[in-house]
Amino acid sequence: MRQRISALVLFPIATMVLGPARLPAAEDPAFSKDLTATIALQGMPCDKVVSTKRNGDSDYIATCQNGSRYHVFVDPNGRVVVQKL
């Protein structure tokens, strides 16, 4: 339960802090670290996010160094969801 709460707090904060005025997600090392932590907190294996694609607000496709790909987004209930692709 604690991990879910941490992920719920981490992702929206990262999204607010790293808004459109900053570097694109793929070029921002801090955002990649935040996304890596979000994936790990959901129990998915990801050593390091190496590329991202923004689909919309709080909606990303992340590719990890180990080759895993994930869809990371906030559902209508405000929960962070990580789906393996």
User: Mean pLDDT across the stretch 11-31?
Assistant: 58
User: Which comes out higher in pLDDT, residue 85 or 24?
Assistant: 85
% of the chain surpassing 90 pLDDT: 58
pLDDT at 9: 57
Residue length of the chain = 85
Identify the DSSP state of 82. E
Q: In the chain, what are the domain boundaries?
A: 2-84
pLDDT at 21: 46
Q: Dump the DSSP string for 7-54.
A: HHHHHHHHHHHT-TTS--GGG-HHHHHHHHHHHHHTT---S-EEEEEE
Lowest mean pLDDT among 17-21, 42-46, 52-56: 17-21
pLDDT at 31: 87
Structure tokens at 82: 């990580």
Q: Count the Cβ atoms, other than its own, within 10 Å of residue 37.
A: 17
Average predicted confidence (pLDDT) for the chain: 79
Alpha-carbon distance 85 to 80, whole Å? 16
